[in-house]
A and B are shown apart, each in its own frame.
Chain A
Amino acid sequence: MAFMTLQDIDVRYDKKKQILKGLNLEVKEGELVSLLGPSGCGKTTTLRVVAGFIEPENGVFALDGEDLTKVPVHKRNFGIVFQSYALFPHLSVYDNVAFGLKMRKLSKAEVDKKVKNILEICGLTEFSVRFPQQMSGGQRQRVALARALVIEPKLLLLDEPLSNLDAKLRINMRVEIKRIQKQLGITTLFVTHDQEECFSISDKVAVMNQGVIEQFDTPETIYHRPKTEFVARFIGFENFLPLNKHGDVYKSEAGAVFTVEGASGEDSLMGTIRPEDIRVAEEGQTKNILTGTIGVRTFLGKTYQYEVETEAGKFLVNRPADESYEEGSTLRLYLPETKLILVKR
């Protein structure tokens, strides 16, 4: 049973530009779901619809079987962490965290107990008297998280919470967020444009493009088996090859024959493969072969990356640094049938 559902959500900006187009999403209780996509894909808008900042033109947002589409923000009881943290500059860490509890008219003793508890969980006990301006980005981030969690929200919403942190802190914080999320068992929506961050933290990922969810799956499935060309491109499949079905096999436009594992029923598809999965063909191999000339060779450390000009356009190929090929030479590429994936064109 889905805990949170978004059904046929339409959002327009200024009555003209449509940002969300009949968006559907179902999230199970306790899951951490990421909305992943390039800027302008509608992921933040989706989060804002859930939060109640935007009322959708059409569609229903329901939580635990209750229609909340028209319920105002302050009655939803959701914890939100903003990209800018949005801490109250005039309040100390303690008062920032206590704010939501005071709104709920809890007794002083109760507020104190809950605030101290969450500050401890988030590792902030020693900072309780500080003000936001006196803290580092990572610490502010934790205060924002504590402030959102202390009200025991039904849903936790995170809008690119790590994008203002440096790389090392980002990795620590995402582990931290996941730990706290699992510890409290709170259903969470996480908006990000960073695929590594998203894969590492999520139970499920919704890849968004132009106002719709292109694919909603586990991180593993999305990483290995993207369903559409957009998803494939977004998560690092660099090479694309139009393929048409001919009986049991597929043929490229130039007539080369390819076999693909787990082929689907559609006739006209796009074959795609990651640069590191492409091999160099051995003598006598005839299937799944693409021939081309090496253009630019780039040294990446463990590997060389070759830009190979083939009959199907430019292909990026990563090969170990010990088997190096010269720029300008001809290369026969082998696209293993287990690694070549078919996606919708």
Chain B
Amino acid sequence: MRKNKLLTAFAILVFVFMIAPLIIITVTAFGEGSAITFPIKTFSVKWFVNVFALKSFRISFVTSLEIALLATVIALLVGIPAAYALARSGMKGRGFLKSVFLSPTIVPGIVIGFVLYQFLVLTLKIPVFVGLLAGHFMVTLPYVIRVVGSSLDQFDFSVEEAAWSLGCTKTGAFFRVVLPNITSGISAAFMLAFINSFNNIPVSMFLSGPGVSTFPATLMNYIEYNYDPTVSAVSVVLMAVTVLLMVIVDKTLGVAALAK
């Protein structure tokens, strides 16, 4: 193929545009001064130490982990059967149901956050943690249905029929034959849902309450009052964790599993 120089230059420009801020943030995290500056004058890791020293960060980090983990597990428990039903049943309105399930990815997060706030917090007055969990469940469910659904679509239906013909009930066949063959889809769904829940801001902002807040929400709060390199350090830590997760996904399933 003939290389188009203009196109190459354009691609590099876009790449720089995307990567440069991340590099700058990473560099500023290692500055010693109490304001974020670039380039840095002296090197220090004290802001990284600060990240782990701050109590509100520690607590909200654990909260975020709990919420992301629980929401993802519940989304898997609900989403896998739902995806199965969508993939296997020949009922009418299947396409419509599928779009309903996927709608939370299309509707702006701020809208979902506001609606849930109105409904769960103001009307039902449910505990903050449960409210957050419900919100995150809503945000993660579409990813599970979509990723598991595409794994199921690729799985030959007659393999299940073969299991039935060999004396397996429909439920038995689901556990013995279907589940073992969609594990890669399930782990991809898990990763994707987990990352999305952990990074979510709009839903968490609305549903956080006194004493219970997610990590990104706490971080937002912190930035409002303290504009020091702790923020950069946190960003670096988050990026590192996300990259690590993606590498694990890529090594085990291939990044393509997430794009399906």
Q: Which residues of A contact B (CB under 8 A)?
A: 51-53, 72-80, 82-84, 86-90, 99-100, 103-104, 144, 147-148, 151
Is A86 a contact of B167 with CB atoms below 8 Å? no
Is A51 a contact of B165 with CB atoms below 8 Å? yes
Q: Which of B22-30, B101-109, B153-161 binds A?
A: B153-161
Which of A77, A79, A88 is within 8 Å of B159, CB to CB?
A88
Distance, CA A100 to CA B168, complexed state (A)? 8
| Cβ distance B92 to chain A, nearest Cβ, rounded Å | 9
A-B contact pairs, 26 of them (CB 8 A): A52-B165, A53-B161, A72-B164, A73-B161, A74-B164, A74-B167, A75-B167, A76-B165, A79-B165, A80-B161, A80-B165, A82-B158, A82-B161, A82-B162, A84-B158, A86-B159, A87-B162, A88-B159, A88-B177, A89-B181, A99-B163, A100-B166, A103-B166, A104-B167, A144-B162, A147-B162
Is A86 a contact of B156 with CB atoms below 8 Å? yes
Closest chain B residue to A77, Cβ basis: B167
| Cβ distance B241 to chain A, nearest Cβ, rounded Å | 31
| Cβ distance B253 to chain A, nearest Cβ, rounded Å | 16
Distance, CA A84 to CA B160, complexed state (A)? 12
Closest chain A residue to B177, Cβ basis: A88
Closest chain A residue to B164, Cβ basis: A73
Is B180 interfacial (CB 8 A cutoff)?
A: yes
With A82-B158, A84-B156, A84-B158 as known contacts, state yes or no: A90 contacts B165, CB within 8 Å.
no
Distance, CA A104 to CA B169, complexed state (A)? 12
Q: How many A-B residue pairs have CB under 8 A?
A: 62
Chain B residue numbers with a CB within 8 Å of A100 are 166-167
Chain B positions 181-200 with a Cβ under 8 Å from a chain A Cβ: 181
Closest chain B residue to A144, Cβ basis: B162
7 nearest A-B pairs in the assembled complex, by CB-CB distance: A100-B166, A103-B167, A86-B158, A86-B162, A73-B164, A90-B180, A80-B165
Residues of B within 8 Å of A, CB-based: how many? 17
| Cβ distance A24 to chain B, nearest Cβ, rounded Å | 24
Is B168 a contact of A80 with CB atoms below 8 Å? no
Chain B interface, >50% SS class: helix
Q: Knowing that A73-B161, A90-B181 are A-B contacts, what are 19 other residue pairs whose CB atoms are under 8 Å apart, sorted by A's residue number?
A: A51-B165, A74-B166, A74-B167, A80-B161, A80-B162, A80-B165, A82-B162, A84-B156, A84-B158, A86-B156, A86-B159, A86-B161, A87-B159, A88-B177, A89-B159, A90-B177, A99-B166, A99-B168, A147-B166
Chain B residue numbers with a CB within 8 Å of A88 are 159, 162-163, 177, 181
| Cβ distance A1 to chain B, nearest Cβ, rounded Å | 26
Closest chain B residue to A53, Cβ basis: B161
With A84-B156, A88-B177, A90-B181 as known contacts, state yes or no: A151 contacts B167, CB within 8 Å.
yes
| Cβ distance B93 to chain A, nearest Cβ, rounded Å | 14
Distance, CA A144 to CA B156, complexed state (A)? 15
Is B169 a contact of A74 with CB atoms below 8 Å? yes
Is B177 a contact of A73 with CB atoms below 8 Å? no
Chain A residue numbers with a CB within 8 Å of B158 are 82-84, 86
Closest chain B residue to A153, Cβ basis: B165
Distance, CA A76 to CA B165, complexed state (A)? 8
Distance, CA A144 to CA B169, complexed state (A)? 19
Distance, CA A80 to CA B169, complexed state (A)? 16
| Cβ distance A58 to chain B, nearest Cβ, rounded Å | 21
Distance, CA A151 to CA B158, complexed state (A)? 18
| Cβ distance B197 to chain A, nearest Cβ, rounded Å | 29
Which of B164, B166, B172, B177 is within 8 Å of A151, CB to CB?
B166
Chain A residue numbers with a CB within 8 Å of B159 are 86-89
Distance, CA A148 to CA B165, complexed state (A)? 9
Distance, CA A64 to CA B162, complexed state (A)? 23
Distance, CA A78 to CA B167, complexed state (A)? 9
Closest chain B residue to A98, Cβ basis: B166
| Cβ distance A200 to chain B, nearest Cβ, rounded Å | 25
| Cβ distance B164 to chain A, nearest Cβ, rounded Å | 4
| Cβ distance A87 to chain B, nearest Cβ, rounded Å | 7
Distance, CA A16 to CA B197, complexed state (A)? 46
Distance, CA A151 to CA B170, complexed state (A)? 18
| Cβ distance B33 to chain A, nearest Cβ, rounded Å | 57
Closest chain A residue to B169, Cβ basis: A74
| Cβ distance B126 to chain A, nearest Cβ, rounded Å | 41
Closest chain B residue to A97, Cβ basis: B166
Chain B residue numbers with a CB within 8 Å of A147 are 162, 166
Distance, CA A103 to CA B168, complexed state (A)? 6
Distance, CA A151 to CA B166, complexed state (A)? 7
| Cβ distance B12 to chain A, nearest Cβ, rounded Å | 41
Chain B residue numbers with a CB within 8 Å of A76 are 165
Closest chain B residue to A105, Cβ basis: B167
Is A78 a contact of B156 with CB atoms below 8 Å? no
Is B161 a contact of A74 with CB atoms below 8 Å? no
| Cβ distance A221 to chain B, nearest Cβ, rounded Å | 32
| Cβ distance B184 to chain A, nearest Cβ, rounded Å | 11
Distance, CA A151 to CA B167, complexed state (A)? 9
Chain A residue numbers with a CB within 8 Å of B165 are 51-52, 73-74, 76, 78-80, 148
Chain A residue numbers with a CB within 8 Å of B162 are 80, 82, 86-88, 144, 147
Closest chain B residue to A51, Cβ basis: B165
Chain B residue numbers with a CB within 8 Å of A103 are 166-168, 172
Distance, CA A104 to CA B167, complexed state (A)? 7
Distance, CA A90 to CA B141, complexed state (A)? 27
Distance, CA A103 to CA B165, complexed state (A)? 11
Among A51, A73, A80, A104, the one with the most B-chain Cβ atoms within 10 Å of its Cβ is A73
